């Protein structure tokens, strides 16, 4: 029985999600404002949290950041009517694992939920594995990334993106593949948030280093390779 916290001030949407989850065997809990949601999230253990961005008393972005400080591994899905690249990047930077634009179908939300829970289960089974390529090193247990011994601070999404690239070095990764494997979603050709995160990652792992590691293959995608 999976426990899910739903933080949504629109009672119709909240109750719709609640009924949909109950029908699938989940145990949902409702909160109708950001502060109530924060209190529940920090006092209880949930397998997944679903939160709107625009909330009374505390918005979903600040809420997500607060939760991430003490519950860094709890999957979070953000719901919003805003769907531009900047909006998605802001949500991911706040610590969200996925981003669903309203209006949406319940079955799409369920697919996102199951994908996140499946990925979370795999992550939980990691036992301190280390990924290495060239002078870049990632510890999956401590979440520490270093290049040539220098520690690099990454956001959760940047970490997940780099992890996938380290698992697939010297292979061209398309935007579609990255969207499906890193974001657990279908690639939206109307936004360029994957390119945005590739650029974020480049700035962090290539700054002050002569050798570039992340390269763009025009019309195909990106590759982790020493050139």
pLDDT tens across 42-91, in order? 999 899 999 999 899 999 899 998 998 888 888 899 888 776 667 777 77
Alpha carbon 86 to chain centroid, angstroms: 15
**What per-residue confidence (pLDDT) applies to 227?**
74
CA dihedral 80, 83, 87, 93 (to 10 degrees): 70
Beta strands 48-52; 76-80: pairing state? parallel
Give the model's pLDDT for residue 127. 44
Q: How far is CA 15 from the centre of its chain?
A: 25
Buried/exposed 180-205: b ≥16 CB within 10 Å, e otherwise? eebbbeebbeebebbeebbebbbebb
Instruction: Locate 49 and state its tokens.
Output: 């949290």
Q: What is the mean pLDDT of the chain?
A: 86
pLDDT of amino acid 187: 59
Q: How far apart are CA 222 and CA 227, in angstroms?
A: 13
Q: What is the CA radius of gyration of the chain?
A: 18
Among 120, 140, 47, 60, which Cα is nearest to 94's? 60
In which band, very low, low, confident or very high, does the pLDDT at 126 lie, cut at 50, 70 and 90?
A: very low
Look up residue 22 and give its two tokens. Answer: 């109950």
Q: What is the pLDDT of residue 124?
A: 45
Q: pLDDT tens digits for 149-198?
A: 889 999 888 998 999 999 898 899 998 889 888 877 665 656 688 888 99
Domains recognised in the chain with CATH numbers:
3-124 (3.40.50.2300), 130-224 (1.10.10.10)
| pLDDT band with cut points at 50, 70 and 90 for residue 19 | very high
Confidence of residue 101 (pLDDT cuts 50, 70, 90): confident
Q: Residue 70 CB: number of other CB atoms within 10 A?
A: 9
99 or 52, higher pLDDT: 52
Please tell me the predicted confidence (pLDDT) of residue 205: 92
């Amino acid at each position: 029985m999976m426990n899910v916290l739903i933080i949504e001030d629109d009672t119709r949407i909240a109750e719709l999600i609640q009924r949909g989850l109950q029908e699938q065997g989940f145990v949902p809990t409702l909160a109708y404002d950001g502060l109530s949601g924060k209190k529940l999230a920090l006092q209880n253990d949930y397998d997944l949290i679903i939160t709107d961005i625009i909330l009374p008393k505390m918005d979903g972005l600040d809420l997500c950041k607060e939760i991430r400080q003490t519950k860094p591994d709890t999957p979070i899905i953000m719901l919003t009517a805003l769907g531009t690249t900047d909006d998605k990047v802001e949500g991911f930077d706040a610590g969200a694992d996925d981003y669903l634009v309203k209006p949406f179908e319940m079955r799409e939300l369920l697919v996102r939920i199951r994908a996140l829970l499946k990925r979370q289960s795999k992550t939980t089974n990691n036992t301190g594995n280390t990924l290495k390529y060239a002078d870049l090193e990632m510890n999956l247990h401590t979440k520490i990334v270093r290049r040539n011994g220098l520690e690099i601070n990454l956001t959760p999404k940047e970490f997940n993106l780099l992890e996938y690239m380290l698992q697939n070095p010297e292979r061209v990764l398309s935007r579609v593949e990255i969207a499906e494997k890193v974001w657990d979603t279908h690639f939206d050709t109307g936004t360029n948030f994957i390119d945005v995160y590739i650029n974020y990652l480049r700035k962090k792992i290539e700054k002050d280093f002569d050798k570039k590691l992340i390269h763009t293959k025009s019309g195909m995608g990106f590759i982790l390779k020493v050139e």
